[in-house]
Amino acid sequence: MAEQKSIHGLWRSRWLFILAATGSAVGLGNIWKFPYITGENGGGAFVLVYLACICVIGIPVMIAEVTLGRLGRQSPINTMHALVKDQNAAKFWGGIGWMGAVSGFLILSFYSVIAGWSLAYIFRMAGGAFDGATAQSVGTIFGDLLGNPEALLGWHTIFMVLTIGIVARGVNKGLERSISILMPLLFLILVVLLGYSMSTEGFGAAFNFLFSFDFSKITAESIVVALGHAFFTLSLGMGAIMAYGAYMPKSASVGKTVLTVAFLDTLIALVAGLVIFPIVFSNGLEAGAGPGLLFQTLPLAFSQMPAGTVFGTLFFLLVAFAALSSAISLGEPVVAWAVESKGMSRVAAATWIGIVIWLLGVGTILSFNLWADFKIFGRTIFDNLDFLTANILLPLGGLLIAIFVGWVMHKQDVADEVKMESPFMYNVWRFLVKFVAPVAVAIVLINGLI
Ligand code: PFF
């Protein structure tokens, strides 16, 4: 395909792409979701399956997705259209872009609500709500927040406004600069917390819980969740990484860049687990506590440590920023499409799309309180959105991307764009994308659905 130009701008360097993609990857998935689903799925065995999914499926699919984006240099929907034409492929493959757009809407609608919890906690922490906290009082504070739909709506609204505000300003202004400050800060705070967790008596138990691989604990359900989470945490299968790839300079090596992003993302998830579980075990909390895990363990830890109020406030601030840098990447693909194809200004596109997503978020808010008993397939609205996106749509998107790059596109076009220095590594990647990823994802998806 002839060299394309992005009308939205480019990242100023390979490192800025790494930071932006890491900003997209590192978010609530790492700090909030990974620890609690690990708790729900029994610990070590789950972690092992998750790591395998990242290496064997996640990384190869990420390379494929970035490659598509950089070839097309447009929003995922238009990139896929252009590639379908250029490669003489069946129209069907254009559906990858559209399906991603739907996934993005659904994910952002609940993501923003949870990110709103972290906003609320910044103020609870700073206001001293957790001074002298006990396991019980943190539970009550969390329960009160979830039971209050107006409060949740308020925080969700603020978070959506922030997200839209940034997407509306475009790729270069603000986003690049804020991410390059916030990501290292987040990591620093996590390391400080890790130091604290290591000093608690529960650290050994937590380490064993996370890294002793008891294979008898692996179930079909936990494999579906681990695979789904590999896609979710790396922001794969819905076009976020494709959109970011569209702004990646030509000179950067896709393979090395993706490896760096995946490494950082995994590291941060594991560190988050090593921060949270020692606190769980030291305080006799429940590892399988579900979505509230982060919001109940950490306030307890902060209430016990010196200068805990300061660290606690800072921590939830950074969680909110990590969520924001991911939320932006959820909004960007569709906004970029509306700018390209509907002739809208960025501001108008971001506003309209944001309003629709904001409205969808109300379903998630109510599923924690007024509609908590309203269940479809035995799940609340929030649980259904989470399950549908992470466990079905993202893996399905990833599967189609792998097949498109591995089987449908001309071999030479792919090779020219991926351009790995080592032919051996290139062949490994090609094998994983062509055979391993599609087969593994298909098996897991079919099993999961049955
Ligand atoms: N990767 C983000 C996280 O782990 O929190 C969530 C996410 C962002 C998922 C962007 C999908 C996506 F396209």
Give yes or no for residue 62 CB within 6 A of ligand 1.
Answer: no
Compute the distance from residue 328 Cα to the ligand 1 centre, in Å: 10
Nearest to 207 by CA among 273, 262, 269, 144: 273
Instruction: Judge whether residue 261 has pLDDT over 60.
Output: yes
pLDDT at residue number 176: 75
Banded model confidence at residue 8, pLDDT cuts 50, 70, 90: confident
Return the structure tokens found at 292. 């509230």
- Residue 385: band (very low, low, confident or very high) from pLDDT cuts 50, 70, 90: very high
Specify the fold of 14-449.
Answer: Hydantoin permease (1.10.4160)
136-166 confidence digits (pLDDT tens): 999 999 999 999 999 999 999 999 999 999 9
Task: Return the sign of the alpha-carbon dihedral for residues 366, 371, 373, 374.
Answer: negative
Check whether 335 has a pLDDT greater than 80: yes
Question: Ligand 1: which of 106, 232, 264 to mutate, most ligand atoms within 8 Å of CB?
Answer: 232
Quick one: which atom of ligand 1 is closest to the CA of 232? 9
What does the alpha-carbon distance between residue 269 and residue 287 come to, in Å, rounded to a whole number? 16
pLDDT class for 424, splitting at 50, 70, 90? very high
Cβ 115 vs Cβ 441: under 8 Å = no
Quote helix, strand, coil % in the chain, to nearest 5.
80, 0, 20
Indicate which residue's Cα is closest to atom 9 of ligand 1: 235
Using a 6 Å cutoff on CB, does residue 232 contact ligand 1? yes
Ligand 1 contacts CB of residue 233 (under 6 A) = yes
Of 233, 268, 385, the residue with max ligand 1 atoms within 8 A of its CB, to mutate for a pocket test, comes to 233
pLDDT of residue 43: 94
Least confident span in 298-307, 353-362, 421-430: 298-307
**CA 10 – CA 24 distance, rounded (Å):** 16
Question: CA-to-CA distance for 164 and 153, rounded, in angstroms?
Answer: 16
What pLDDT is recorded for position 30?
Answer: 95
Q: Cα dihedral sign for 103, 107, 108, 109?
A: positive
Beta bridge partners of 445: none
Q: What is the pLDDT of residue 180?
A: 75
**What's the rounded Cα separation, in Å, for the pair 91 and 313?**
50
Alpha helix segments (H runs only) across 170-239: 175-198, 203-211, 220-233
Q: How confident is the model at residue 443 (pLDDT cuts 50, 70, 90)?
A: very high
Q: Is ligand 1 within 6 A of the CB of residue 235?
A: yes
Report which of residues 349 and 289 the model is more confident about: 349
Q: Compute the distance between CA of residue 34 and CA of residue 269 in angstroms, rounded to an integer.
A: 6
The pick from 319, 329, 385, 391 for probing ligand 1's pocket by mutation, whose C-beta has the most ligand atoms within 8 angstroms, reads 329
Residue 358 CA to residue 381 CA, distance in Å, equals 15
> What is the best residue among 163, 235, 264, 265 to mutate for testing ligand 1's pocket, by most ligand atoms within 8 Å of CB?
235
> Could you tell me if the CB of 110 is within 6 A of ligand 1?
no
Amino acid at 73: R
Q: Is the pLDDT of residue 344 over 60?
A: yes
Nearest Cα to 394, choosing from 199, 205, 217, 234? Answer: 234
CA distances from residue 111 to 117, 264, 322, 331 in whole angstroms, order as listed: 10, 21, 12, 11
How much is the average pLDDT of 280-297?
90
Task: List, for residues 169-202, the tens digit of each pLDDT value.
Answer: 876 775 677 777 778 888 888 888 899 889 999 9
Q: What is the pLDDT of residue 171?
A: 66
Bridge partners of 376, per DSSP, are 379
For 49-92, the pLDDT digits (tens) are: 999 999 999 999 999 999 999 999 999 999 999 999 999 999 99
Closest atom of ligand 1 to CA, residue 322: 5
Cα angle value 28/30/31 (rounded, 5°): 65
What is the C-alpha to C-alpha distance for residues 345 and 167, in angstroms, rounded to an integer? Answer: 12
Residue 241 CA, closest ligand 1 atom number: 13
Which CA distances in Å does 7 have to 73, 171, 337, 395?
8, 10, 11, 29
- Ligand 1: distance of its center to the CA of 259 in Å? 17
Q: pLDDT at position 308, please?
A: 87
Kindly report the average pLDDT of the chain as a whole number.
Answer: 93
Q: Could you give the residue ranges of the DSSP H alpha helices within 246-342?
A: 254-282, 293-304, 308-341
Domain ranges of the chain: 14-449
